[in-house]
């Protein structure tokens, strides 16, 4: 299992459009992928679940990956979040 702390930088936070882009990218990996924010952990491959976190600009999240492609997943998804 790998994990990385990331601060949401998008001016409008992780609203529907960037969250949908993230979910689409996350689904390309076999590994289990979760996001934890403010004590709540969700499946990062679910757009609905991501939206329940209310991720605004400046929010700290913990991205976790676990599985055969965990290293590639965490590296790629970190870049995706930082570009959104």
Strand 32-37 with 2-7, pairing: unpaired
Cα separation, 15 vs 72, in Å, equals 24
Taking the C-alpha atoms of residue 35 and residue 3, their distance in angstroms, rounded to an integer, is 9
The catalytic position among 4, 6, 13, 15 is: 15
Q: How many CA atoms lie within 13 A of 27 on its CB side?
A: 9
12 is catalytic: no
Show which residues are catalytic.
15
């Amino acid at each position: 299992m790998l994990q990385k702390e990331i601060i949401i930088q998008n001016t409008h936070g992780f609203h529907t459009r960037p969250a949908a882009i993230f979910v689409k990218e996350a689904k390309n990996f076999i590994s289990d992928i979760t996001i934890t924010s403010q004590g709540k952990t969700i499946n990062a491959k679910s757009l609905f679940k991501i939206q329940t976190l209310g991720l605004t600009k400046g929010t700290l999240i913990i991205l976790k990956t676990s599985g055969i492609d965990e290293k590639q997943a965490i590296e790629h998804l970190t870049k995706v979040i930082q570009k959104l």
